[in-house]
Chain A
Amino acid sequence: MGTFLLRRLMRSAVLIVVVTFLTYFLVSLTPGDAAYTLLGARATPEQLQALRHDMELDQPLVEQYWRWLSSALHGDFGRSLLTQQSTSEVLSQRLEPTVSLLAGTVLVSVALGCLFGVLAAVRGGWLGRLVDLVGQMGLAVPNFVLGLILIAVFAVNMRLFPVSGYIAFAEDPGLWIRSLVLPVCGLAFGVIGVMARQLKVSMEEVMQREFITAMRANGYPQRSIIYRHALRNAGLPVVANLGVIVVGMLSGSVLMESVFALPGLGSLLVQASAQADLPLVEGVVVVMTVIIVAVNIGVDLISAWLDPRVVRP
């Protein structure tokens, strides 16, 4: 178990370094650099040169990156070019809506995805076809389009939920949930379809395996065969895919935050990139990567718990 975790942590560290360096590299390609952004088009070349020297932008790229990385490891992500606010401060303000949205979506989609997947596999028939259909429709309707439809129906017409905006949990837990219902539904819909369909296919495959026949032949309780043995084995590929699903969800959350005007990391990214506020962009990318890494480690732990062959090969 120890070496297994260590290997996974190493992989995560590599991922973070690769992503941040790529972003840094991309940013360094920008025609106008940070100094240009700060001083504007009317600055003289001397002024630009001076500021570049102050900001150490004239140093080699790897060196700049190294300096950024070592201060980032100390929690210092630099300052916003425009507002001069500390990046980590801005990030921490923006973290809650995004994490709430993601956590809510993961919870809802895992619960409903498993439920529908199992029901579809066991009962088949119309439910099975429905799961197939939703699995496909959920992807055919991009989640931000679904978000728009949800707003039109449930917020504008029926006035059940707020049209947009976010209420912090500390402010009012009830309103916090209400402000999250529609974005979570919009983001979870497609994922539920994908997960249910995947679990259904996987269940159907597992139910044909020899050990299931052996268990049925030897009188194991039907309920235990389906919900203990088949589900556990069928869940393995679904859990393994959870990491990729959450990565997709993160992309979806950027659009969802834009649709519902949630002040999260996604909308910060869109805004910062429009203003070429690169320290902020870099900060958001780091936080998102850390979220992905955390989810992947969680997924690895669940896989290890479900399947002994992962840790005891």
Chain B
Amino acid sequence: MSAEILSSTPDPDSAAGQRPKFLSKERARRGPYRPATLLAGAWLILITVAAGAAPLLAGHDPLTQDLAQVQVGPGGEHLLGTDSLGRDLLARLLHGSRTTLLGVAVGVGVSVSIGVPLGLYAGYLRGRVDKVASAVAEILMSLPGLIILITVLAVYPYSMIAAMVTFGVLSSAALFRIVRNVTMAVAQDLYITAAKLAGLSRRQILLRHILPRIRPTVVAQTAIVAALALVTQLGLGFLGIDTRPPHATWGGVLQDASTVIAVSSWTVVPPVVVVTLTILAFGILGDTTTSQPYRLTRARTRTGRPQAPRTTRRAPADQLLCVEHLTVVLTRGGGGSILVDDVSFGIGRGEIVGLVGESGAGKSVTSRAILGLQPTQAKVDGFIDFDGLNLLDLTDKELHHLRGRRIALVGQEPMVSLDPTIRIGAQLAEAVRAHQKVGRKESHRLARQLLTDVRISDPSAVADRYPHEISGGMAQRVCIAVALAGNPELLIADEPTTALDVTVQAEILDLLRDLQRERNMAVLLVTHDWGVVADLCDRAIVLYAGQIVEQAATERLFDHSCHPYTAALRAADPHQQQPGRRLTTIGGSVPPPGSWPPGCRFADRCVSVTEECSNAAVPLHLVAEGHITRCIHVRADDKEAHRVP
């Protein structure tokens, strides 16, 4: 009986600037065509028509009493039976729907005509209008609706219209808030800025650009207000205060049925069914929450390897990690496209290997698949050998035992990689306890030690802070400390400096290098920054559109890169630019998964493209010891091109 459902819709404010799900185009397109939506719409049209044609359809007068025939069952002369005074139930429901639906219409009308324009205006303009309107809305939303309505009806007895106008005013607050939040989210979009710059008037922007975008939300929320209006009306009718007694409303019919429920339970059935279906119909129209169940315990496919080349050879002894034919495919539900295509590489103990490429090349997916943290709708194939264990054969539980203890992760955005609600010291101590059998007190001491290890000068003070109280660089140090808590042999650093200030980047890289040396850790460094590769990595792997295009020792890659993509990427490195010249870029963009060409995937953007490039898939070639590339124009040093097994 309240606005409680209204607020179950995601609030853009709370999602820290993230685009709310219900704004996505896909939702808007899919929403109106669900079968449930069609049924709900059909039902609402049906009862509206029935209400309009009530005198024709009813067959009986809703007020005529027949005390000889009270509470008769369905069938016969009275299709749905009669009520406690022998009045025809169908006639009372039909005639009742006129008053009830009129009340709903009044409530919704008032609510929408106040809430939507104000919400649009406040969300777009912000400023003082927004402040005042939001404050008023907050007060309105904490008013007990039904109680106010009862008071209103005490002043204007039996004035359903007055009650529903009041309902409209009260419920407009919730509608206002949602429209305002959605408008705020949309107004931040680039094309709105573009429209402003193009000189469109405020009115044009609001009506032609913003309103169409937020329409699905407005429609859905209006349906919910309608459901609330109906429930409220029923409540008033049930209390017998909405209209003068003999006049029928749905709530009144329910109330009458309730007085005789112990004697005849049939009378209550028709009104309950009608009422429930109608509220449900409004509810379905208003349901915008998409639900994607998150499976924590996911069944791992044990058939790890692809059919053709069963290279189950053991990794060389000095190899810590050996990835072979790694393929990550989104399942049909997730789009069915390939994210990572037959990627093979190794990392030796204590070695730092860079994984380089543009966004969308598959770097993150590759690195996370090693930890068994691929997207939920993805299927992983291939062979990942970690110190003699095939990681793809392990269950989630067995993998869990490895995570943090032998392989750890440092993520890209330190500010969102820590639990915002828990003190840093406590989070770190928990990581320590996860890997070592120590008491609470000892774990906190070790946590402070870890903070010292990552060169934080005042560990006790930092341990007492919350993540939002420290800087990005500091947060990344904490994240590294978390990853070190289990003393891992392999650290996966997924663009560890991308989100940081330039000055801080160097510090974090120095720290990583020092830690790697102190602990002789192997590091898989995902990056798109050649400076980082040159600085830290022993070897680098260049990824393009899900494939390895080149792999070599860092020096060799800098001196003798073979693949045109590597060359182009190096040329586009911001550190290599000369002042006053235009930035070198690679034309076009990485083709998204699912639209990769059959031949060379870089052909469209390549400067040395020829006709043969698009003929067939290009295999990897060995160019020199430890140097492979995927380009048909490159010949090996020893004349003969080798196909890498």
- Interface set of A (CB-CB < 8 Å, partner B): 14-15, 18-19, 22-23, 26-27, 29-30, 121-122, 124-125, 128, 132, 136-137, 139-145, 148-149, 151-152, 156, 163, 191, 194, 197-198, 200-201, 203-205, 207-211, 213-222, 224, 226, 229, 232-233, 236-237, 240-241, 243-245, 247-252, 254-255, 258-259, 269-270, 272-274, 276, 278, 281, 284-285, 288-289, 292, 296, 306-309, 312
Contact = CB atoms under 8 A, between A and B. Distances in A.
A145 B144 contact: no
Interface string B259-292: 0011001001000100110011001100101011
Interface stretch (B57-65, B313-321, B418-426, B505-513): B418-426
A201 B289 contact: yes
Interface in B1-44: 1-5, 7-8, 10-11, 14-15
A258 B238 contact: yes
Given A145-B254, A218-B431, A243-B142, A139 B279 contact: yes
Nearest to B268: A148
B280 A140 contact: yes
Given A194-B4, A248-B2, A307 B420 contact: yes
A18 B139 CA distance: 8
Contacts of B418: 211, 214
B405 A251 contact: no
B154 A273 contact: yes
B141 A218 contact: no
28 contacts: A15-B139, A22-B148, A23-B148, A27-B151, A128-B293, A140-B227, A140-B283, A144-B234, A145-B234, A145-B272, A148-B261, A210-B411, A210-B412, A214-B479, A214-B482, A217-B404, A217-B492, A218-B486, A219-B400, A219-B404, A247-B145, A252-B2, A270-B241, A273-B241, A278-B154, A285-B147, A289-B144, A308-B420
Nearest to A18: B139
A295 B401 CA distance: 44
B352 interface: no
B294 A201 contact: no
B483 interface: yes
Nearest to A136: B283
Nearest to B257: A148
Contact of A217 (B5, B144, B409, B423): B409
A132 B404 contact: no
Contacts of B153: 273
Q: Count chain A CB atoms within 10 A of each CB in B283, B403, B417 and give the residue with the most.
A: B417
Contact of B155 (A29, A229, A237, A252): A29
B482 A142 contact: no
Contact of A259 (B143, B258, B294): B258
B408 interface: yes
A236 B4 contact: no
A193 B8 CA distance: 11
Contacts of A204: 291-294
A-B residue pairs, 6 tightest by C-beta: A248-B2, A219-B404, A273-B154, A124-B293, A251-B146, A217-B409
Nearest to B426: A228
Contacts of A221: 434
Given A247-B145, A274-B154, A219 B466 contact: no
B190 interface: no
B20 to A, nearest CB: 10
Contacts of A145: 234, 254, 272, 275-276
B295 interface: yes
Nearest to B433: A221
Given A139-B227, A145-B272, A207-B294, A197 B8 contact: yes
Interface of B: 1-5, 7-8, 10-11, 14-15, 139, 141-148, 150-155, 227, 231-232, 234-235, 238-239, 241, 254, 258, 261-262, 265, 268, 272, 275-276, 279-280, 283-284, 287, 289, 291-296, 368, 371, 373, 400-405, 408-409, 411-413, 416-423, 430-431, 434-435, 466, 468-469, 479, 482-483, 485-486, 492
Contacts of B284: 136
A270 B155 contact: no
Given A217-B403, A251-B144, A270-B150, A121 B294 contact: yes
A255 B483 contact: no
Contacts of A22: 148
B575 to A, nearest CB: 28
B416 A132 contact: no
Contacts of A136: 280, 283-284, 287
Given A201-B8, A201-B289, A250-B147, 15 more contacts: A14-B139, A124-B295, A128-B293, A140-B283, A203-B294, A214-B482, A217-B371, A217-B373, A218-B434, A219-B435, A248-B2, A248-B4, A269-B151, A273-B150, A285-B147
A26 B405 CA distance: 68
A229 B296 contact: no
Nearest to B138: A11
B241 A274 contact: yes
A237 B289 CA distance: 15
B413 A210 contact: yes
B62 to A, nearest CB: 21
Contacts of B268: 148, 152
B239 A306 contact: no
Given A142-B234, A309-B468, A236 B291 contact: no
A273 B163 CA distance: 14
B37 to A, nearest CB: 13
Nearest to A30: B155
A313 to B, nearest CB: 8
Given A142-B275, A218-B431, A292-B144, A237 B291 contact: no
Contacts of A220: 404, 430-431, 434
Contacts of A219: 400-405, 408, 431, 434-435, 486
Nearest to A209: B416
B239 to A, nearest CB: 6
A201 B293 CA distance: 9
A104 B208 CA distance: 50
A207 to B, nearest CB: 4
B1 A255 contact: yes
Nearest to A278: B154
B409 A218 contact: yes
A65 B144 CA distance: 21
B139 A211 contact: no
Given A140-B279, A144-B235, A309-B420, A156 B261 contact: yes
Contact of A252 (B1, B280, B373, B402): B1
Contacts of B280: 136-137, 140
A235 B316 CA distance: 49
Nearest to B296: A122
Which one of B295, B408, B419 has the greatest number of beta carbons of chain A within 10 Å? B419
B470 to A, nearest CB: 12
Contacts of A143: 1
B1 A229 contact: no
B279 A222 contact: no
A96 to B, nearest CB: 18
Nearest to A293: B142
B2 A244 contact: yes
A98 to B, nearest CB: 11
In this complex, the member of B5, B268, B409, B469 whose beta carbon has the largest number of chain A beta carbons within 10 angstroms is B5
B69 to A, nearest CB: 23
Contacts of B234: 142, 144-145
Given A132-B291, A251-B235, A312 B154 contact: no
Given A204-B291, A218-B408, A307-B420, A27 B155 contact: yes
